[in-house]
Structure 1
Amino acid sequence: MFSRGIISNFRTPTLPFPTCKFSVSDKDLESRGFFLRRTISDLNLDHLNSVFVAVGFPRRDTEKIKLALEHTQSILWVEHKKSQKPVAFARATGDGVFNAIIWDVVVDPSFQGIGLGKAVMERLVEELLEKGICNIALYSEPRVLGFYRPLGFVADPDGIRGMVYSRKQKKKK
C-alpha cells in the first residue's frame, strides 16, 4: 500500500482558473471521444473500481463506493465514448461553504499523459471556487505531487502540518 501525503492550497490557487477557460476545452475533449460527467448516474462502479486498482488503489466494495459517492459534494469523471467506461475521475467532499477535500483522482493508465487528469482537476477546482470554497486540500501519492503543483497546490503551506488518524491493522493469525 502506498503512503499518502496531504497537499493543499488553503488559498486561491496560484494559477488563474477563469470560467470556461481550461487547458483542454469541453469541445476538444468531445472531438477526441471523451465526455465529461458530473453525476453518478451512468457511472459503472465496477469499471471505476478497475481504474482504482490499475493505478494502485486497493479494490473496494462497490456498495461502499456507491455510498461514498452519494455523500460526495462534487464529482467529475470522463467517459470514453467508444467503451462507455470511466477513464478519469475525481471527487470532493466538504462542508459546502469553507472547506473541501479532493479524493480519488485517477486516470486509467492507458489514457494517462493526454490531459484528462488536468482537465478533471481544473474543472473540479473551478467548481469549488465558484461555490466560494477556497480551502481545498487533497490526498495524493507522493510520486505524483508534481502533477498538482502547476494547478496551484502546495505541500504544507505556511508550515501547516496535516495529520491523519490511522488505525493499525490487526495481523491475522
Structure 2
Amino acid sequence: MENGGWLEKTDRSQRAWQEAKQGQIHLQRRDWPAAIASFRRAVELDPESSWFHHHLGEALCQQDRWEEAVVAFTRAVALNPDFSWSHYNLGRGWANLKRWRNAAAAYRRAVELEPNFHWSHYGLGEALIHLRRWDEAIAALLKAAECLPTPPETDDWTTVARRLGEAFQGRSSPGWEPTCEDYCRAATDSNCSELSVLRENPELCRQLARDLAGRRQIPGAIILYAIAQKLRPDDPDITRELETLVEKKKRLEADVTRRHREIREHPERWSHFEATDGDPPPPPPPERSPRNSGQIQFDDDRHIDPRDILDLWRAVGWRPQPRDRLQKALENSFLVISVWEVRSDGKRLVGFARVISDGALYATIWDVAIRPEFQGRGLGRVLLRHLIDRLGRENIADITLFAGSGAVDFYHSLGFVADPNGIKGMFWFCP
C-alpha cells in the first residue's frame, strides 16, 4: 500500500509538471486561456507547488482576472513566503481591485525580500498615495527612483517621476510652503531615514526636480529644488532654477486668483474656457517628429484599435482597461481626437483625447494623453484647442475636465480655471 501510494504520488507529480511545461509554452505563445487551463490542471494534480499557483496567477493577470489571480498568488505566498515575485504580483492583484491596504502590505513584503526591485517600491508608493499616506508614499517613490537602472531616459523613470509629483502635490495641499519647509528640515536631519536617498545622492534630487518642472508638477519640483539647495548651497544653478520656478508659481497663483475674482464679479460671463480673439484656429499642419523621421497628423476618426490606445496609456503610466470596454467607450464618445506619428513603415498613436457630452449644453474632456517623448512640443495644447473649437461649433460652451495634479498648470494656461465655489468632483466605484 505504501509503495502504491508513493508511486501514485510520483505519477501525479510528473503529470503536473508536464501540464506546467505546457502552460509555459502557452504563455510564450500568449495563448492565455490555454495557459490558465494547463496551470489549473497542474494545481489540481499537485496543489502543494507554489510555482504552479504563481504561474497560474501570472496567466490570470494577462486576462485581467484579478480576483482569481489574487487567490492564486495568496496560495503561492502561503506555500513559499520568501519568494518576492509572488508578493509583488499579489500586490498588483490587490491594486487592480483597488484594495489599497492589502496592496501596500503585499508590496511592503516584496520590498523586504528584494529591496532593489524598483517596481515593488513604485507599487508601494502608488498604494500609499491612494491611502493618502503622503510621506510614506514619497519615501517609497524616491527609493524606486534610486533603484532605477538607467535614469532618466527610460519609460520607467517617467512613470516613477510622474507618480512622485502626484505624491508631493497631495502632501502640499492646501499650501506648498509649509511642506517645503518640513522637507528641507528633514533632508538635513541625519536621523530621517526616509530622505536618506536624497542626502546620499543630491544629483538624483536635482534630476527629479528638473524632471517634475518639465512636467509642470510644480509643487514637487520646488520642494526637490529647495532640498537640493540645502544639500548644495554653493551651487548657483540650483538657486537660479529654484527662484525661477517659485516666481512662476506665484504668477500662476496670482492669475488664478484674478480669474476667480472676475468670475465672482461677473458670473454671467463665466465659462470653463476663455476663448481667444479672432477666428477659430485652422486644423494644425503636420509637424516633424522628435526623431525627425515622420510627420504628426491629427485625426477625428473614432475607429481606433484599442490596442493602440492601451499602448499609449502604458507609455504614460495609466492603468489598462479591458479592450472590449474601451472599444465601447470609443463608440459612445461624442468626439475623439487622435494624434499620429506617420512614418514610411507605418504609424504610431502619440496623442489622444475624447469628449462625452449631451450634444447641447455640457461636455467633459477625458483621457488626454501625449506620449512622453512627444511632450513639451505643444501637441497637447493644439489637441485641446482643436477639441474646444469643435465643441464651439456645436454651441457647447460649458466644458469641464478632471485634471491630474501634474497637469493643473497646463490647463490653467489654456484658460481652464478651478471651480470658483471649491466644488470637487465626486465618484462612486462599484465595490
TM-score normalized with structure 2 length: 0.35
Aligned partner of 1:71 in structure 2 is 332
How far did residue 163 of structure 1 move?
2.9
Aligned length: 161
How far did residue 85 of structure 1 move?
1.5
- Equivalent residue for 1:40, pick from 288, 302, 318: 302
Q: Deviations over 1:19-65 (max 9, x none)?
A: 4426xx62243796011110123x23212111112212111111111
- What letter matches 1:90 in structure 2? A
How far did residue 162 of structure 1 move?
3.2
99-108 or 135-144: bigger deviation: 135-144
Q: Deviations over 1:52-82 (max 9, x none)?
A: 1221211111111110010000111111101
Aligned partner of 2:285 in structure 1 is 27
SS at match of 2:285: helix
Structure 2 CA distance for partners of 1:118 and 1:70, relative to 1, 3 Å: same
- What letter matches 2:271 in structure 1? R
Aligned partner of 2:169 in structure 1 is none
How far did residue 95 of structure 1 move?
0.5
Rg comparison, structure with higher value = 2
Check the 8 A contact 1:17/1:126 in 2, yes or no.
Answer: no
Alpha-carbon distance between aligned partners in 1 of 2:277 and 2:352, rounded to the nearest angstrom: 19
Aligned partner of 1:141 in structure 2 is 404
Alpha-carbon distance between aligned partners in 2 of 1:91 and 1:65, rounded to the nearest angstrom: 12
Looking at secondary structure, tell me which structure has more strand per residue: 1
Alpha-carbon distance between aligned partners in 1 of 2:285 and 2:315, rounded to the nearest angstrom: 28
Identity among equivalent positions (%) equals 25
Aligned partner of 1:16 in structure 2 is 276
- Asked if 1:153 is matched to 2:413, the reply is no
Q: Deviations over 1:105-148 (max 9, x none)?
A: 00011111111111110100111111111110011211111111
CA RMSD of aligned residues (A): 2.6
- What letter matches 1:101 in structure 2? T
Alpha-carbon distance between aligned partners in 2 of 1:162 and 1:27, rounded to the nearest angstrom: 37
- Using CA pairs under 8 Å that are at least 6 residues apart, name the structure with larger relative contact order, 1 or 2: 1
Alpha-carbon distance between aligned partners in 1 of 2:310 and 2:319, rounded to the nearest angstrom: 9
- Asked if 1:100 is matched to 2:363, the reply is yes
Alpha-carbon distance between aligned partners in 1 of 2:333 and 2:284, rounded to the nearest angstrom: 23
Structure 2 CA distance for partners of 1:71 and 1:86, relative to 1, 3 Å: same
Aligned partner of 1:162 in structure 2 is 424
Structure 2 CA distance for partners of 1:160 and 1:133, relative to 1, 3 Å: farther
Alpha-carbon distance between aligned partners in 1 of 2:333 and 2:278, rounded to the nearest angstrom: 24
- What letter matches 2:418 in structure 1? A
Unaligned runs of 5+ residues in structure 1 are none
Looking at secondary structure, tell me which structure has more helix per residue: 2
Alpha-carbon distance between aligned partners in 2 of 1:111 and 1:87, rounded to the nearest angstrom: 7
Check the 8 A contact 1:15/1:150 in 2, yes or no.
Answer: no
TM-score normalized with structure 1 length: 0.81
- Asked if 1:109 is matched to 2:372, the reply is yes
Structure 2 CA distance for partners of 1:88 and 1:18, relative to 1, 3 Å: farther
SS at match of 2:407: helix
- What letter matches 1:154 in structure 2? V
Alpha-carbon distance between aligned partners in 2 of 1:36 and 1:145, rounded to the nearest angstrom: 24
